Amino acid sequence: MSGQITPTAAACPGCIAAPADAARPVPQDAQIALSLPGIHCSACIANVEQALSAVPGVQDARVNLTLKRALVKAAPDLRAADLIPVLEQIGYEAHELDPGALSATQADKAGRDLLMRLAVAGFASMNVMLLSVSVWSGATDATRDMFHWISAAITLPAIAFSAQPFFENAWSALRVRRLNMDVPIVLAIVLALVTSLWETALSGKHAYFDAALTLTFFLLAGRYLDYRTRAAARSAAEELTALEVPRAIRLRNGAEEEVGVAALNVGDLILVRPGARMPVDGQIVSGRSELDRSLLTGETLPVFAQPGTQVSAGEVNLTGPLTIRATAVGEDTSLHRMADLVAIAESGRSRYTSLADKAAKLYAPGVHILSALSFVGWYIYSGDIRTALNIAAAVLIITCPCALGLAVPAVTTAASGRLFRKGMLIKHATALERLAQVDTVVFDKTGTLTAGTPDLVNLPEIAREDLAIALALAEASTHPLSVALARAARDAGITPADVSDLSEIPGFGTEGRLAGQRVRLGRAEWVGAPDSAETTAWLAVGDCAPVAFRFVDSLRPGAAEAVRALRDSGKDVILISGDTATAVQALADKLGIETWIARALPQDKAAHVQTLTDQGHRVLMVGDGLNDTAALAAAHVSISPASALDAARVASDIVLLGTDLSPIADACRTAEKATKRIRENFRIATIYNVIAVPLAVAGLATPLIAALAMSTSSITVSLNALRLR
């Protein structure tokens, strides 16, 4: 999986949405799940398993290479934190996964169920085909009848078991007086069985047992492909959620204890270390620090925090440890209230009808009418109900949507697989079709087009001696701006000045003494500098005028390429951000984006996307923050990076696993190609029907012709889908 997820994000606010997982009682023997993004061969498996088994308390360790995970059965007091250093020592990156969030993958009952039905249909159809081939190659009289009876004995129970998903779907559609693709399928299967039984009882020549079974087999194969693609996406998405184990440190009578976020109550004292996210809404009781609110508001400027400041779940504590008193937990947090916006926006999404549904709407009534007409026609013409029923069954079997059933899943499986290798996860079944229609792309700024890490921009303007002092001060702190300053200064070949008595004052900056003078690096008001709209750190040496260090958010890799490629393919690119106008304009100019909107509130973003939609545009929204969530849900289709908040990932159709943005333009191209292939597949299926149906209506179709036509069309459609790779 992706390696860029910050392991420091100890408590993800979005995970508060799933309190059931955290509240689950811990079993006697702890199951620890670890994500191992770096493993790839048999030596890795052996190394990891050996290293884990050597840790005292571990009972069993098993690596799953397909999912790049390790499951460890261990004594209850063993923690993942004890195992991760062991693996890092032998050179494997490891992250803890929340077993609660993964449980759905382990109990993959639906997939296993489909596979079982597919297997039964496959084995039965092979046996029946064997008998049918003997009939077609000339078995007559008693032998033929016996073969037909044996076929019936295999087919009836096999169909009763394996075609159940179709029966259920057809019944649920008919109950609300609607038609779906499964209604003609069920009708064809049932009619084929009834006429075949009737023919066999009267020692007739033609029986369609093999057709009914192969039909079921091919359609189940399509269903299974469809299911597998979505299950793979779901399990990877689950893994992203599980990476953020929802824990918080509660202070009780002065002692620290680690508890699940769901166990927190209003009034609890919670310790939030630097680098961690606020698990709940609250008020700061003690400690000074700076807060990064970018995921909630899109603002990149850190906000000063001191006792009395209100904090919201999801904000990141940057410098000093903070103790907060919880004022709202779980469902009541401001983070959660934002979810209401999403619910409203999402209602528009369900209006999209997929290509398969559109085809079914045209196809299902057409087939029924055609089959009924041939029944009536032949009954009037020959006066024989048996002939008429036989021909009606042949028409239904020949027109049956074998190729239609495979047309969509075969293509989406191929396209999703291709995009997954490029680092994109297709979460929604119709996401590709919707992506192909996009003509306008709306980007969020902070965390999406930018990486969320600052870059020093005015290094050449600063005197080397000032840089040396600033470097010495910056290296005493882990604040993101200090880290960026130190990195830039080191890269420029600066050596730190000899600053003594270094101390970090959380929330303000770093202070030290140089040749008897007090030197400070930090916030504007602390060093006595004017306020600025840009992200700026100030250096004050003694009583001299403060020196400004200006930062901009660095671009995410691939952002420029993605924007250029999207514009080249004729799409409008728009930038909407909650940040200040200067910051947004600077970025828009750099990337060549003409339309930009700054200081947008979450509602504004969603409203703007809605306006564009009302004007007839199909909008792709790319965003990562909580302030984007409503817009993500309102857009025609949406993409979020893996580093996004859980809520944003849930609201989007596609998740970008890597840090690189360039696959976005590629995904649009693949989606367009995939939609083209789907349409081609529908055309192939139609052409084959145009050729075969007149034969069936004329009463010339035999079971052999039906079997041949069905197999060829299904295989052609699958091969056409494979061309996408």
Annotated catalytic sites, by residue?
444
DSSP-assigned beta bridge partners for residue 550? 536
Q: Which C-beta is closer to other proteins: that of 38 or that of 377?
A: 38
Q: How far apart are CA 150 and CA 47, in angstroms?
A: 54
DSSP-assigned beta bridge partners for residue 370? none
DSSP-assigned beta bridge partners for residue 508? none
Q: Which C-beta is closer to other proteins: that of 128 or that of 296?
A: 128
> Any idea what the Cα angle at residue 327 is, between residues 326 and 331, rounded to 5°?
95
Q: Which C-beta is closer to other proteins: that of 130 or that of 544?
A: 130
Task: Give kind and range of the element (H or E) at residue 230.
Answer: helix 209-242
Using CB under 8 A, count the residues that bind other proteins: 23
**CB count in 10 Å sphere of residue 130:** 12
To the nearest whole angstrom, how small is the minimum distance from the Cβ of residue 428 to other proteins? Answer: 25
Q: Which C-beta is closer to other proteins: that of 150 or that of 502?
A: 150
Q: Which C-beta is closer to other proteins: that of 47 or that of 659?
A: 47
To the nearest whole angstrom, how small is the minimum distance from the Cβ of residue 598 to other proteins? Answer: 47
Q: How far apart are CA 186 and CA 163, in angstroms?
A: 8
Q: Which C-beta is closer to other proteins: that of 23 or that of 130?
A: 130
- Residues 431-490 close enough to bind other proteins by CB under 8 A: none
Task: Give kind and range of the element (H or E) at residue 572.
Answer: strand 572-576
Residue 66 sits at φ, ψ, to 5 deg, of -60, -45
Site membership for other proteins, residue 414 (CB under 8 A): no
User: What would the x/- binding string for other proteins be over residues 150 to 169, using CB under 8 A?
Assistant: x---x---------------
Contacts of 173 (CB under 8 A, 6+ apart): 179, 180, 182, 183
Q: Which C-beta is closer to other proteins: that of 130 or that of 715?
A: 130
Q: How far apart are CA 714 and CA 16, in angstroms?
A: 46
Tokens of 687: 């052409």
To the nearest whole angstrom, how small is the minimum distance from the Cβ of residue 520 to other proteins? Answer: 55
Q: Which C-beta is closer to other proteins: that of 43 or that of 380?
A: 43
Strand order in the sheet with 316-317: 303-305, 289-292, 316-317
**What's at 344, amino acid-wise?**
I
Nearest to 588 by CA among 577, 604, 602, 599: 577
- Residues 86-145 close enough to bind other proteins by CB under 8 A: 112, 115-116, 119-120, 123, 126-127, 130, 143
Tokens of 637: 């289709």
To the nearest whole angstrom, how small is the minimum distance from the Cβ of residue 116 to other proteins? Answer: 6
Contacts of 141 (CB under 8 A, 6+ apart): 203
Using an 8 Å Cβ cutoff, are 260 and 23 in contact? yes
To the nearest whole angstrom, how small is the minimum distance from the Cβ of residue 593 to other proteins? Answer: 42
Task: Give kind and range of the element (H or E) at residue 604.
Answer: helix 602-614
Q: Which C-beta is closer to other proteins: that of 41 or that of 202?
A: 41
Tokens of 436: 């192909």
Q: Is the dihedral of CA 423, 428, 433, 436 positive or negative?
A: negative
To the nearest whole angstrom, how small is the minimum distance from the Cβ of residue 480 to other proteins? Answer: 38
DSSP-assigned beta bridge partners for residue 504? 510
Q: Which C-beta is closer to other proteins: that of 42 or that of 89?
A: 42
Using an 8 Å Cβ cutoff, are 48 and 39 in contact? yes
Distances (CA, A) of 358 to 209, 353, 371: 30, 7, 21
To the nearest whole angstrom, how small is the minimum distance from the Cβ of residue 118 to other proteins? Answer: 10
- Residues 255-284 close enough to bind other proteins by CB under 8 A: none
To the nearest whole angstrom, how small is the minimum distance from the Cβ of residue 117 to other proteins? Answer: 11
- Residues 176-215 close enough to bind other proteins by CB under 8 A: none
To the nearest whole angstrom, how small is the minimum distance from the Cβ of residue 41 to other proteins? Answer: 6
Q: How far apart are CA 691 and CA 707, in angstroms?
A: 15
Tokens of 158: 């096999």
Using an 8 Å Cβ cutoff, are 527 and 538 in contact? yes
Q: How far apart are CA 87 and CA 48, in angstroms?
A: 7
To the nearest whole angstrom, how small is the minimum distance from the Cβ of residue 46 to other proteins? Answer: 5
- Residues 28-87 close enough to bind other proteins by CB under 8 A: 41-43, 45-46, 63-67
- Residues 620-659 close enough to bind other proteins by CB under 8 A: none
List interacting residues with other proteins (CB under 8 A): 41-43, 45-46, 63-67, 112, 115-116, 119-120, 123, 126-127, 130, 143, 146, 150, 154
